[in-house]
Structures are given as structure tokens and as C-alpha cells.
Structure 1
Amino acid sequence: MSVSHILVVDDEPDIRELVKEILEDEHYRVSVAADGAAARQARMERRPDLILLDIWMPDIDGISLLKEWQQSDEPAPPVVVMSGHGTVETAVEATRLGAYDFLEKPLSMAKLLLTIRHALDDYNLRRENLGLRRHLRPLSRPLGRSQAMATLRDQAEKVAQTDAWVLLSGEPGVGKRLLARLIHNLSPRREGDFVEVGVATIVPANAVMELFGEESGDKVRYGLLEQASGGTLFLNEVADMDLDLQARLASALQGQSFVRLGGSRAVQIDIRVIASSHKDLLEEVRRGRFREDLYYLLNVVPITVPPLRQHREDITDLLSYYVDFFVDSDALPYRAFSVAAQNKLRNYDWPGNVRELKSIVHRLLILGAGESIDIDEVDAVLGTQPPATLQTAGFNFELPLRQAREQFEKAYIEHQLRNADGNVSQVAKAAGIERTHLYRKMKALGINPKEGGQA
């Protein structure tokens, strides 16, 4: 389990040491600082998960430090302000600047521990929500009843109970990211961060700063390696990393320490690494495009994620799952795949794997009509021509997806209104949606049900 690191900043030695001893008894890692300068130094040496900050200190006050620190991290670690001579105005100012809470001295240790637990829970929840907003993952684990998927889940569960590093291989779109997150979520590090490094998306000029962070005077920017400390670092498509960055990363991972850009002191980290690649990394090593030392560091437990064409029996379950997912997430009308359509998709080669399947289900729900998805629609989506019903409607396939969906929905509802002579109940029944939802949809699209057209 990840252990939280707390920085205690107070100019009174007795308070500083007492709080340190109590927190260590509660199994927190603790650093201490006697003044503002030492606090800055301690914060630069190691990224804290929470800061206990005194206000009145000999060199710089806590409010000034709070203002400085709240401008650097996103989201910033919580700060609990402490003072024996605080005023209401001071407490209000600290809260306005982002302090989690304000505690008066003499400290109640029971209240202090409760505040720390609540602050850390809130901080972890904010980071988790931020990660979910950035990376929507509708599945929690690889789906399917095939032997291939059962074996894959079993491998993930076994390796998750260790701290061994993992190398995931497989074609693009098979679900390597999903498997990496599953391993993290099942591991003792699940309370720590799951930090993904999209190697191919990092701008080369900024790569060192993004990974290793940066120091400039008294200010520090924590890189992705430090953000993953106590948790898991996921190197997605690691083969795309250039050789110079590979060398620097291999050194950092080997020693679990590094020096930030512009810094001079070594920063200690504690991370588990999961890497992925659709390329044969050993072949990349032979061709001189990937460092051998980094390859052997990462390749402790190799796991291969099979392509979808190798477990076609799972396609029916995947189709059903993503239909339900998009009906719920996008409020799309429910449509079921006919047996003929399912059979067609089970015999398709799926070059884009599960990612392609998800995209096709989404497209069919957006652009199609009727209660079922038949083989003709599937043939059209898998081929080069759009469905004939959409061609004759003059549908513009060059539009962005959101606008295309709105254009189709508007044309579809207006067509149904004309057929039903403006009877909204009949249209709702034909479309397979609730009448109240249909009214909201017509209002959003500017459709007047009495006229069957624009309001």
C-alpha cells in the first residue's frame, strides 16, 4: 500500500518533533522544516502528499508560502495551516488561497489526525477524478468468456500481487492500456497514482522536463516520474522514445533516482513500471533502435494481449457491452445486432481490434435507424460506401462526428413527424425512446412538432 508523505513546517522544535513522532506512529512518512527556506528546500527534495504549515516564522510567513505553492501543482497537495495567534481574517485568507483547513494551537492530536485523513482522501479523489476525465475507460477489465481472455485476466491478477515490472505487447487497439490499469488497480499500489506517459505524444523538446521535472530558483515543477512515486508509471508505446531519452530513463529507473532539469540534487522515487509496445522490442534492440539495458529492465514479466481475431467468440459480448455503454453515455436509441450482423462481424478480421469494434458500434448507433442493426448496415460500415438511406438523404460525411449526429437526428425526427402527421407519441414509439426525451431532443434541435420542421 502506498504510504503518504507529509511535510511539517513549524519554527517551534517541540511541536515539530511531537507531530513528527505521532505521524510516524500512524505510518506516514514525515519530513520537517523549521522555517520557510527549509520548507522550500524540503518540498524541492521530495514531493509531499500533504503539508502542515505554520503561519508565523522568522523568515517568511506561511500565507506567502501557501500563495507561492498553490500556483505550481495541478491539483496541488492539500495544505493544513496551523497557528497559535491566528485571527479570523488570517483563517479566511488561508482558505481563500486554497488551504484545506485551519487548525488552532495548541493542537488537538485527534483532530489533527482526522483532518489529515480527510485531506488526503479528498486529494486522492480529486486526482482520481482528474484521471478519469482525461482517460475515459468504460471497461474495468478485459471482457470475454474465451479461454484467451480468461488466461489474460489470470495473468494480470497474479502479476498484480507482486511488484514486478511488466511489458505488455500486442497490436494497436487490443487493450494494453486497460490491462495496465487493471494490474495497478489490483496491486498493493492501487492507492497511489496511475500515471500514463503517452510516449508518442510527448513533444521531444519538452520530454526531459515532462518526465523528470524542473527546478528554477526556489520553484519546482514535479515531473511524471515523481507524480508516479508510490504508484505505477505506465509507459505507453515505449518503442517510440528516442535513444537519448531512453538512456536517461534507464539510469533513473535502475537507481530509482534522478536529477531534475536545472537541479543539482538527486530525487528518490519508488515506482512500479508497466510498459507497452505494439513493436517487437527485441527486434528493435537488434536494429539498434532500443537500448538493451532498458529492454531487460522492463521485460521482467512479459504478457501478450491477443488480437481480436484470435478470440472471435467474444465479439458478441463486446457488441452487447458497447451498445449498452453508448445508449447510457450518449443517450442513443437502443438497437440490437441481428444474428446475421453478428455472424458477419465474427468473421471480420478486425485490423483495429477492440478499438475498431467500439468505433463501429458507436457509428451504427448514431447514423442508423430502427430497432435492429442488420447485415446490410454492417456491410456498408465495413465497406467503402455509406448506407443507401443516408446517401439519398444527402448526408454530409465530411462533418465532425457531433455535427453529423445532430444533422442525422434532425432529419430522422422530421421524417418520422411527417409520417406520423405530427403525432409525437407515435414518433417516440417508432424511434424507441421516451416521449419526454424526444421532446427535449426536438427542442435542442430546433424542431417544432406541430410543423414537423424548424421552430
Structure 2
Amino acid sequence: MPAHILVIDDEPDIRSGLRDILEDEGHRVSEAQDAAAARALLADAAFDAVLLDIWMPGTDGIALLREWVTAGELPQPVIMMSGHGTVETAVEATRLGAYDFIEKPIALAKLLITLERALEAQHLRQANRQLQRQVGSLFEPVGESPAFQTVLAQLRRLAERDAALLLRGEAGTGKESLARWVHGNSNRRNGPFITVAAGAVPDEQAAIALFGSEGAEGVSAGLLEQANSGTLYLDEIAELGAELQLRLSSALERRQVLRVGGRSPVPLDVRVIAASSQDLEAERSAGRLRDELYFQLNVLPIKVPALRERGEDIGPLAQHFDRIFAARDGVPPRQWPDAVLERLRQHDWPGNVRELRGLTQRLSLLGSGEVRLDEIEPALQGQAVRNDAATQENVVPLDLSQPLREARDGFERAYLLRQLANAGGSVGKLAQLSGMERTHLYRKLRDLGINKE
């Protein structure tokens, strides 16, 4: 994607060389020889990314980065450059919010890969913010029950701390949503939020997926490295193999990542939030969870209540999800009469918030007007949702005036949303229903803006 890049370096040859490389890739480039020139350019123009040298006369790169952070949110990703870099300098830069750190002499492949990922991350961040402004957030905590408010108060106090959090609770209670909320209220909010779903990482690819790789084909950053300056969410960590647990524990302890095939460690600056629905003490006793990793993650344990323990929140949650799905999918919101809300409160909700969200999404897609008891009863009894007013529920409406690509995306999105609802939110079951390979499916869900939760 063509972008406007600002290069800040006191050496004319380096600025010129970077300009030639970046313009050959289709980017527009502006140059600044020092902090004063950079301030002037940033005051007059918007940039998509900044390449910032650390060692400059006067105000150096770290000081300039700190100045931007103190003034507020970084409007674009910043990639630091240095020919005299140390691990401490790189850690300080990423702690302040730099996207990455590259050493001089700058390798062409490393530069272009890092810049491409920084621009992609910025594009996704802007798209997510725009979507949240339009429809609200699925991750916004909703509920006034004492049980939920107690948890929220604890998380609010801990949001600005960097200590590891461990969210414990039944499957589907919204642990990832709470982790995202903590991230959004922390001083790392401008950094990435990266999820490691241990059970979804294939064993043969787990090391590369987590730690990245280096080789003749280039450098690939793993999930840990992608989380630099942000939050790493570890879901069901006991499902990782013992060797990977040990390697992960070492990376977190040393705050460094060694890529598969790599020789030099990469600085790691992340806040870790782990989650589990399992009995972790039993997993330790059975040898499936290493002590080192358990004690690293169990610094601040938080118990997330089951939905049946916060019954007064069921109605507000259902209406919250309905408003979001209606706005996102372009359909009118449903009305929720008292009789329906009372029936929802009587349900045991074995799938917790995830089950309620799935039911709400199906009702949003398949019906209109006032929600009826005969719509929700089959779902609460474990049957498929039926809607007499939508007898052609397998027919997806399409706007044939759209360009082919937009119409196809609309169909794929509606199809995958329907199948995801039928799969109860399970991506594994969705892969079976759709006949798609899981890796390709995850990519497709991401491209279509579908959150698997």
C-alpha cells in the first residue's frame, strides 16, 4: 500500500538511500535532518509511518519519541534505527511505543517487511476505531450486578500496571473481552493486542507461530514479537506442549525472543494477560502445566463470574449485543419484551456470555420486530432457532447493484456469520461446516471483519 513516510536522520547519505528504496516501492518520502525539522514537518502534514534515527545531535531519537508520547497518542507507527543499538535502548524504544527497532546498516528485506507490517497494523487499528465509533464495541463491559462490578473494579485498578493477569472462569464468560478492555484502558492501549490461542496452534508449527523464524526466505515475526509494546493474551495456556511452555517461560523471564533459526534475541516488551477455564492446579499436578510458567502468570488471579451468577446482567447484555449486530449488519434492532427477558434470566446458560451472544446474533440475522418466546425457546432447549417470519432462512439477500467483489464479500460474510452461529462460536466446527482449512478460515474471518467471539 503506497504511504507517506517521514525519514528522520542526521546523515544525508542514509536519508537519500532510504528515499530511493522507499520511492522504488511506490511510497512518498519526506526527510528531516534533526528533531526541529521533524517537528516542523509533522506540524504541517500527516504521515503514515516514521523512520527515526536514535543517535542524532541535539535532541536524539529516544528523546523525540518520548516527547511525542508525552504530548499524546502516536498518530503513526514509529520504527527506530540505530547503528549502535543495545538491547536496553531497543526495550526503551518499544516501551515508549515504537513499533520496531532495526539496526544499521539497514537490510533491505528487513526494512520493507517491518514497514509493511507497521502500515498493516496501523490500517487495522484505524479500521477498528472507525467500526467502534459506528457500532460500539463487543468488548465493552456491560453489567451492573455486584459480582461483575467487583471484577471490573479490580481490573480497573490493575489496568495501568504491567504485572501479569490471570483470568479464571468457565468457558464463554468473556475473559478475552475483559482482557481487551484492560488493554484499552492501559498505557499500552496504542500498542497491539495479540491473542495466542494455545489449542488452535498446530503442534508442528507452534514454535514458528509463537517465536517467529529466520532463514534464507527472510524474517518472520512470531506472535510474541508482534505483541511488542502491547498486550499478549494467552488463552488456555495448559494446552501448549511442555517444551513450548518452557521456551515461553524463558522468553517472558528474559524479555527476549529468539526466533527459530535466529542467532540474536529480539527485545520483548509485553504485558501478559492469561486466561483459563481449566483447573490449573490439577494441570500442574498432572504435569501438563509447568511450574515456571504457572507462577509467572498467576501473579494477579481474577475470577470471572459465570453468567448464571449475574442474572440481572442478561437483559442488558442481550440488548447490547443486538444493537451492535444490527448496526454492523445494517438491520433494525429487535425489541425485547419483559416476558422474553425473564425467560432468558431463567436459563442456566452453560455457554455463558458466548451462548447469549450467539443467540442474540441469530435472532438479529433471522428475525425482525419484537422477539417472541417461541423464537428463543428452541434455542434454549438446544435446538435450532426457527422463525416463522423467515421461512427462507437459508436465502441470503444480496444487493445486485453492487460491484461483484462487494456482493461476493457480502455473501461470504452472511454465510460465515450464519455458519459460525450454527457452530456455537467454534472455529473448529465452522471449518468442518464450511469445508475450509482452518488457517485460511482465520484469514478470511479477519478480512471480512468477523470476530470469532
TM-score (norm 2): 0.64
Match of 2:175 in 1: 176
State the SS of the aligned residue for 1:211. helix
For structure 2, the 5+ residue unaligned runs are 1-6, 15-32, 35-52, 67-78, 396-410, 419-453
Q: Within 2, Cα distance between the matches of 1:186 and 1:260?
A: 30
Match of 1:324 in 2: 323
Match of 1:222 in 2: 221
Match of 1:263 in 2: 262
Equivalent positions of 1:39-438 (< 5 A) are: 49=99, 66=108, 68-69=109-110, 72-73=113-114, 75-77=116-118, 125-129=122-126, 138-217=137-216, 219-369=218-368, 371-383=369-381, 384=383, 386-387=385-386, 389=388, 393=391, 402=414
State the SS of the aligned residue for 1:215. strand
* Pair 1:374–1:200, CA change in 2 (3 A): same
Q: Within 2, Cα distance between the matches of 1:20 and 1:203?
A: 50
Q: Residue type of the partner of 1:377?
A: E
Match of 1:22 in 2: 60
* Pair 1:343–1:74, CA change in 2 (3 A): farther
Question: Is 2:32 aligned against 1:33?
Answer: no
Residues 192 and 226, structure 2, Cα contact 8 Å, conserved in 1? yes
Q: Within 1, Cα distance between the matches of 2:314 and 2:248?
A: 39
Q: Within 2, Cα distance between the matches of 1:76 and 1:404?
A: 27
* Pair 1:134–1:276, CA change in 2 (3 A): farther
Residues 8 and 30, structure 1, Cα contact 8 Å, conserved in 2? no
More divergent stretch after superposition (292-301 vs 326-335): 326-335
Q: Within 2, Cα distance between the matches of 1:256 and 1:405?
A: 39
Could you give the per-residue CA deviations for residues 301-351 of structure 1, whole angstroms, max 9, x where no partner exists?
001111100000111111221222222111223321222111111000011
How far 1:51 moved relative to its partner?
A: 7.8
Could you give the per-residue CA deviations for residues 344-367 of structure 1, whole angstroms, max 9, x where no partner exists?
110000111111111112222332
How far 1:268 moved relative to its partner?
A: 2.4
Of all paired residues, the percent bearing the same amino acid is 32
Match of 1:409 in 2: none
* Pair 1:360–1:127, CA change in 2 (3 A): closer
* Pair 1:52–1:405, CA change in 2 (3 A): closer
More divergent stretch after superposition (233-242 vs 286-295): 233-242
Q: Residue type of the partner of 1:379?
A: E
Residues 142 and 175, structure 1, Cα contact 8 Å, conserved in 2? no
Q: Within 2, Cα distance between the matches of 1:347 and 1:129?
A: 40
Radius of gyration: which is bigger?
1
CA RMSD of aligned residues (A): 4.0
How far 1:387 moved relative to its partner?
A: 3.9
Q: Residue type of the partner of 1:126?
A: H
Q: Residue type of the partner of 2:236?
A: E
Q: Within 2, Cα distance between the matches of 1:394 and 1:189?
A: 47
How far 1:69 moved relative to its partner?
A: 4.0
How far 1:20 moved relative to its partner?
A: 8.1
Q: Residue type of the partner of 1:376?
A: D
Q: Residue type of the partner of 2:359?
A: I
State the SS of the aligned residue for 2:183. helix
Could you give the per-residue CA deviations for residues 116-175 of structure 1, whole angstroms, max 9, x where no partner exists?
xxxxxxx86325247779999833432111111211110111111211100111111111
State the SS of the aligned residue for 2:234. strand
Residues 8 and 52, structure 1, Cα contact 8 Å, conserved in 2? no
Residues 8 and 33, structure 1, Cα contact 8 Å, conserved in 2? no
* Pair 1:30–1:363, CA change in 2 (3 A): closer
Q: Residue type of the partner of 2:167?
A: L
